[in-house]
Amino acid sequence: MMGICFLIVGLLFTTITKLVTTGIGIWGNNQPVAWAFDIVNFVWWIGIGHAGTLISAILFLFRQEWRTSINRFAEAMTIFAVMCAGLYPLLHLGRPWLFYWLFPYPNVMQTWPQFRSPLMWDVFAVSTYFTISVLFWYTGLLPDLASLRDRAKSRIAQVITGVAALGWRGSARHWQRYDIIYLLLAGLSTPLVLSVHSIVSLDFAVAQLPGWHTTIFPPYFVAGAVYSGFAMVLTFMIPVRAFFGFKDFVTQRHLDAMSKVMLATGLIVLYGYAMEAFVGLVYSGNPNEYFQMHNRMFGPYGWSYWMLITCNGIIPQLLWLKRVRLNPVLLWFITIVINIGMWLERFVIIVISLHRDFVPSSWGMYFPTKWDFGMFIGTMGFFGFMMCLFIRFIPMFAGFELRELLHKKKSHSH
């Protein structure tokens, strides 16, 4: 598994090397479809990352105890997904080594970034999100790293885990501070769950393009992000659970609860699609909006819209049935379908909206090249590779939290 992933990481590096030495002309996007696979994948990956933050932060604040056995896993996924996501806009810059131009710093050009552009806000939103996610994940890891250190056999392992554990001794004072910090970070991450994808959606919503210029985008994007994030967690969790025999940690109840979250967010997303169609075809009375929506459904890319509706709207309705929610194989299949659907959603929004401009003379089609696919598959491999490394080297479950939970449960039952 890791070997396969590593091969795909090689593909990613090949693609990036080719991209850096040749330029982004190797991608299929060109006027009028200036944003294509790169931004589709960026939004997709960022969305996937959302489950981690939601599980660790919001569910923590709501004292949803079932989160305990999946939070570490989901947080790791968040970090790796954001890494994959960040790669795309970075490389789409064309000259990625000049990425620091995105940050406001006193420079010899005496220019500042364009603060009125949502793309600029995105830089801050995503980098803040990544930083907080890493801190949150790492803070949660500390006690487990310390127990790894205490159990380490070799000197090298002791030193490495010891440095990583930052001198954690598990004293009462440590625990008290830990609780405060964890709560604070959870509080910090909570608005991030909403802000990051809202701002990503503003990348589109601020532009005056039919299909993009709509106020429904922020909530609809956030719901979609959580939807795809939970789907991705399950896509990874179900095989890992079966393979390592973690049925006692990730119980039926977890699958059930996560399915319900997916169902709820999926319905929000479906409402979003319905609203877009209603506004475009009926309510706006704007010929451009009407044409855009009509073209989305019956234009040259119509297949992707109907596939999207099938994947994201129809098939997940099976989750209403408890039998489906408790059937890991079927559930796994549905999560894959949702992942595809959410990818298609971004494709529909970005490519279809762009390829028919206001002026028919500037209409065009978008065809991804092999490098587009190389990059996309490559990041999936990178994600898988990092997940494999994570499963191999880092405690997959928050050991101490599970023990704490068990302890509480026992004392309650008395």
Partner 1 sequence: MNETSFQPESDVGMTLSEARAQLAKARGRNYWRSLEQLASRGNFQAMLKREMPRQATDVEVSDWDPIDRRDFIRLMGASLALAGLTACTKQHEEKIVPYVKAPEELIPGRPQFYATAFVHDGYAQGVLAESHMGRPTKIEGNPEHPRV
Partner 2 sequence: MAQIFHPTANAVARLSIVIVGLVVIGGLVTLDQLTRAPYGTEVGVAREQPVPFSHKHHSNMGIDCRYCHTSVEDSSFAGIPPTKTCMNCHSMIFADQTILEPVRESWKTGESLQWNRVHDLPQFVYFNHSIHVAKGIGCSTCHGRVDEMPLTRKENTLYMGWCLDCHRAPENFVRPKDKVFDMAWTPPANQAEVGKELLKEYKVDTAHYRMLDCYLCHR
Percentage helix, strand, coil for the chain under 3-state DSSP, each rounded to 5: 80, 0, 20
Shortest CA distance to 364 belongs to which of 32, 29, 37?
A: 32
Q: Which two tokens stand for residue 334?
A: 């549905």
- Rounded distance between C-alpha atoms, residue 291 and residue 209, angstroms: 12
Comparing CB distances to partner 1, the nearer of 12 and 70 is 12
The reply to whether 176 sits near partner 1 by the rule CB under 8 A is: no
Q: How far is the CB of 118 from partner 2 (least distance, A)?
A: 20
Q: How far is the CB of 235 from partner 2 (least distance, A)?
A: 37
DSSP code at position 383 = H
Is residue 103 within 8 A of residue 113, CB to CB? The reply is: yes
Is residue 379 within 8 A of residue 11, CB to CB? The reply is: no
Angle at 404 between CA 402 and CA 410, to 5 degrees: 100
Comparing CB distances to partner 2, the nearer of 21 and 154 is 154
Q: Which among 16-24, 35-43, 156-164, 284-292 is the span making contact with partner 1, rule CB under 8 A?
A: 16-24
The reply to whether 239 sits near partner 1 by the rule CB under 8 A is: no
Q: Which among 112-120, 162-170, 229-237, 311-319 is the span making contact with partner 2, rule CB under 8 A?
A: 162-170
**Given 63, 98, 155, 411, the residue binding partner 1 (CB under 8 A):** 98
Work out what residue 96 binds among partner 2, partner 1, none; the CB cut-off runs from 5 to 8 Å by kind: partner 1
Residue type for position 68: T
Q: How far is the CB of 168 from partner 2 (least distance, A)?
A: 12
DSSP 326-392: T-HHHHHHHHHHHHHHHHHHHHIIIIIHHHS-SSGGG-------HHHHHHHHHHHHHHHHHHHHHHH
Q: How far is the CB of 215 from partner 1 (least distance, A)?
A: 40
- Rounded distance between C-alpha atoms, residue 255 and residue 236, angstroms: 12
Q: How far is the CB of 372 from partner 1 (least distance, A)?
A: 19
The reply to whether 187 sits near partner 2 by the rule CB under 8 A is: no
Q: Which among 6-14, 258-266, 286-294, 312-320 is the span making contact with partner 1, rule CB under 8 A?
A: 6-14
Contacts with partner 2, 125-154, as mask; x by CB under 8 A: ------------------------x-----
Taking the CA atoms of residue 343, residue 345, residue 350 and residue 356 in that order, the dihedral angle to the nearest 10 degrees is: 130
- Rounded distance between C-alpha atoms, residue 268 and residue 227, angstroms: 9
Q: Which two tokens stand for residue 195?
A: 């802000």
The reply to whether 107 sits near partner 1 by the rule CB under 8 A is: no
Q: Which among 8-16, 177-185, 255-263, 357-365 is the span making contact with partner 1, rule CB under 8 A?
A: 8-16
Residue numbers 91-110 binding partner 2 by CB under 8 A: 106-110
- Rounded distance between C-alpha atoms, residue 52 and residue 373, angstroms: 26
The reply to whether 158 sits near partner 2 by the rule CB under 8 A is: yes
Q: How far is the CB of 348 from partner 1 (least distance, A)?
A: 33
- Rounded distance between C-alpha atoms, residue 385 and residue 9, angstroms: 8
The reply to whether 96 sits near partner 1 by the rule CB under 8 A is: yes
The reply to whether 97 sits near partner 1 by the rule CB under 8 A is: yes
- Rounded distance between C-alpha atoms, residue 255 and residue 233, angstroms: 10
Q: Give contact residues for partner 1 (rule: CB under 8 A).
A: 10, 13-14, 16-17, 20-21, 95-98
Q: Give contact residues for partner 2 (rule: CB under 8 A).
A: 106-111, 149, 158-159, 162, 166-167
